[in-house]
Amino acid sequence: MAETVPAQTLEDRFEAVVAAEQRIEPRDWMPDAYRATLIRQIAQHAHSEIIGMQPEGNWLTRAPSLRRKAILLAKAQDEAGHGLYLYAAAETLGVDRAELTEKLISGRQKYSSIFNYPTLTFADVGVIGWLVDGAAICNQVPLCRCSYGPYARAMVRICKEESFHQRQGYELLMTLMRGTEAQRRMVQDAVDRWWWPSLMMFGPSDADSPNTARSMAWRIKRHSNDELRRRFVDMTVPQAEHLGVTLPDPELRWNEERGGWDFGEPDWSELTRVIHGQGPCNAQRVERRRTAHEDGAWVREAAVAYAAKRAAEAAGPTEASEATNVTEQENGK
């Protein structure tokens, strides 16, 4: 008979594994709140990958060349793949992908606020790659060391592709900047619109982020929102200089003492509005996702029917089919 392990011992073991920088795996005991936090975070991350295909998808049919169209298609497909790895990682925690999708389209689970902004010109495709995928990399590289094994492993693969996304965005912008005056203005306009929303991708300031401490203790999160935001700004300012664009922040200046860039405060009331559904494209994004989900119902039904058929075949011939075979033999077939 198996011995029952006291809860205290299980919790000690969990704490010891986390403290030793080892990974918690799906069959291991974990505190309920750890599981719930991970489900919420991974689902939100998966939803962001899937919804994130929409703003750029808006330009697939209007990409200016075959080459740009092929690159953009490949990127959008990568994002779909990221969503799938992440839904699979969430499922190891005992939730179902269908249930998570339902929560997304009914507004009970969120996705990154950045995808509620419109893509007005093709320069937005470049700026999304450079700034949005760039911010995603800052956020996600530390997640490769997250204490939950399936999430950490999914992130390793995702981060490799994100760095390709960032480079393709930067390369597109470099090309536009070498072009006409109108193209350079188009890039600057896109940077002006995306800069602040990109900074908001790191979430509220540390003072307003009550769950950070616990996530850091569990080694899900490795750095605070403000720390990651500073890291992003430090990485991006020299890239903006090289590109020849101005970042729309009059308070941006080098801090000799700290060895980093000081920058202005994002408009947090805007972040709150967008998170609560009042961004420029929230309704449109969710509606599009709902329609795509409904349009895909026949694929899911066909897959279930096929799986049932294969299972029935594997279970051996049924009485009815045996009877048919006997009849066929008697008829000399």
Which residues contact Fe ion (rule: CB under 5 A)?
49, 79, 82, 133, 162, 165
Smallest distance, Fe ion to C-beta of residue 98, A: 22
Q: How far is C-alpha 227 from the geometric centre of its chain's CA atoms?
A: 20
Residue number, 82 or 289, with CB nearest to Fe ion: 82
Smallest distance, Fe ion to C-beta of residue 136, A: 6
Smallest distance, Fe ion to C-beta of residue 44, A: 13
Residue number, 129 or 266, with CB nearest to Fe ion: 129
Residue number, 82 or 193, with CB nearest to Fe ion: 82
Amino acid occupying residue 118? P
Residue number, 69 or 273, with CB nearest to Fe ion: 69
Smallest distance, Fe ion to C-beta of residue 217, A: 27
Residue number, 169 or 203, with CB nearest to Fe ion: 169
Total Cβ atoms within 10 A of residue 114: 22
> How far apart (Å, rounded) are the C-alpha atoms in residues 201 and 111?
11
Smallest distance, Fe ion to C-beta of residue 269, A: 28
Smallest distance, Fe ion to C-beta of residue 17, A: 28
Contact 197, 134 (CB under 8 A): no
Smallest distance, Fe ion to C-beta of residue 130, A: 11
In DSSP terms, which residues pair with 148 in a beta bridge? 24
Residue 131 exposure: Cα atoms within 13 Å on the Cβ side:
30
Residue number, 117 or 261, with CB nearest to Fe ion: 117
> How far apart (Å, rounded) are the C-alpha atoms in residues 164 and 203?
24
Residue 332 tokens, joined? 């000399």
Residue number, 81 or 248, with CB nearest to Fe ion: 81
Smallest distance, Fe ion to C-beta of residue 100, A: 17
Q: Which residue has the tokens 């308070």?
A: 251
Nearest residue to 237 via CA among 255, 218, 223: 255
Residue number, 162 or 249, with CB nearest to Fe ion: 162
Smallest distance, Fe ion to C-beta of residue 200, A: 17
Residue number, 139 or 224, with CB nearest to Fe ion: 139
> How far apart (Å, rounded) are the C-alpha atoms in residues 224 and 205?
9
Nearest residue to 197 via CA among 164, 222, 167, 232: 232
Give CA separation, 332 vs 320, 327, 329, in Å: 19, 9, 5
Q: What are phi and psi of 197, to 5 degrees?
A: -60, -35
Residue 125 tokens, joined? 């495709």
In DSSP terms, which residues pair with 260 in a beta bridge? 255
> How far apart (Å, rounded) are the C-alpha atoms in residues 55 and 92?
30
The radius of gyration of the chain from alpha carbons, rounded to an integer in Å, stands at: 24
> How far apart (Å, rounded) are the C-alpha atoms in residues 85 and 90?
9
